[in-house]
Structure 1
Amino acid sequence: MGQHSLLDADRYALESQIRECYGRCAYTHKTHEKMAERLHARHQRGKWINIVLSALITSGAVSVLFSKGSAWEGLASYATAALSVLSLIFNAYLKDLDPGALAQRHRETASDMWNVREAYLSLITDILDTKTELENIRNRRDDLQEKLHKIYHGAPHTDGSAYGKAQDALKNNEDLTFTDTEIDLMLPVSLRRSRRAG
């Protein structure tokens, strides 16, 4: 008996599509999580660099005040001015980039994707119940597709580095097509096709 002997051809084809959608959602969710983690770390580093620059500028200003007439006065003045310019450039860069706000947008997208991913998981569970009508499954699939479109439309962009980290986290291949085995590894044991193999 074949692997999908327990399901008719239409139900099996629909399940295959939904499993693929589930796998893509899992990747997208994890990629946005990884982007958020990296941007949050960048934001934290930026805060520390700002603290260090502020401390150095303050130290330089105090040095200028207490080194009046000494050989160090000119050097302290130039160093303080240079650090002030550097601080201004760095703050302008951070304000323009705003990694903290961007990290939050990635977290929100990941949260939205998590919800859709779990809905696909429920759909996979329901499709295995042969009492559930295929029309009902198709309608729910179409609703999820519409939700995904809205999420993707407003989602911030990700990059290859975040995708690579998501790939490592999910222990999967580079492309977005999944073998039954790969999706089975992401699903609970009770929903794995390998358990139904004849």
Structure 2
Amino acid sequence: MSGAVDHGEARRLLLAQVREAYGRAAYTHKTHEKQADLCFESHKRQQRLLLTLAVISSGSFLASLLGLLVNESWAALGTSFIALLVTGINLGTKTFKYGEDTQKHRDVAAKVWNLRESYQSLIVDLQSNTITVDEGRARRDSLQREALATYGEAPRSTAKAYHRAQEALQRKEDLTFSTEELDLLLPAGLRSTAERGRDEGK
């Protein structure tokens, strides 16, 4: 009897640990998704600013050539200043590679998504007693090695991305669906019993 209790306690503790790992993976996945969004927003602003300044620079130069501006010396000075800004932003694109950073965070998010889903599958198997505690430990250890490799190569995220992820998970409930929502997404044969009954009664 004592052995059975110990076995049950071992399963409970393992399940608690896996649930904790699932929670960390869920937050990491969503944080890198939000960080990718932030990087993409910065990339778009950077490109728009560069394009705008290039157009203004060209327009001012043409205007000065055509004598459309009152003071050509001021036009030349303004054109030179804008050209300097364009050069500075071009150099900035080599330092702040928002486009590349966007892809890096998306790649990490994709890997962590798979990790998160694997933890969820392990939780289901542990709760349904379809695997032994030893099998659960082996899968946990394998997932921990995968997590170490994934988290180790992940680029740094910001506090802003984490807060966006927190809001998405806690307030907007990004990872949860109501029974009705799931039934609409699933084919009739995989819907809940009540929904299938309504379909069959039509």
* Fold agreement, TM-score > 0.5: yes
Task: Show CA shifts across 1:129-188 (max 9, x none).
Answer: 22411111111111110111111111000111111111111117xxxxxxxxx9xx9577
Paired positions, count? 173
Q: Provide the identity percentage.
A: 34
Residue identity opposite 2:67 in structure 1: S
2:163 and 2:130 map into 1 onto residues whose CA distance is 40
Name 2:143's counterpart in structure 1. 144
Q: How does 1:1-198 map to 2 (within 5 A)?
A: 8-67=8-67, 71-171=70-170
Two-structure CA RMSD over aligned residues (Å): 2.4
Task: Show CA shifts across 1:81-127 (max 9, x none).
Answer: 00000111111112211101001100000000000000000000111
TM-fit CA distance, 1:22? 0.2
Task: Tell me the TM-score normalized by structure 1.
Answer: 0.81
1:71 and 1:29 map into 2 onto residues whose CA distance is 57
1:103 and 1:171 map into 2 onto residues whose CA distance is 24
Residue identity opposite 1:35 in structure 2: Q
- Which structure 1 residue ranges, 4+ long, deviate > 6 Å from structure 2? 187-190
Aligned CA distance change for structure 1 residues 131 and 49 (closer, same or farther; 3 Å):
closer
Residue identity opposite 2:50 in structure 1: N
1:189 and 1:64 map into 2 onto residues whose CA distance is 64
Task: Tell me the TM-score normalized by structure 2.
Answer: 0.79
TM-fit CA distance, 1:189? 8.4
Task: Show CA shifts across 1:40-59 (max 9, x none).
Answer: 01101111111101100100
> After the TM superposition, which of the residue ranges 127-136 and 145-154 deviates more from structure 2?
127-136
2:132 and 2:19 map into 1 onto residues whose CA distance is 18
1:86 and 1:134 map into 2 onto residues whose CA distance is 63
1:65 and 1:186 map into 2 onto residues whose CA distance is 59
1:26 and 1:126 map into 2 onto residues whose CA distance is 19
TM-fit CA distance, 1:78? 0.4
SS of residue in 1 equivalent to 2:157: coil
Aligned CA distance change for structure 1 residues 81 and 120 (closer, same or farther; 3 Å):
same
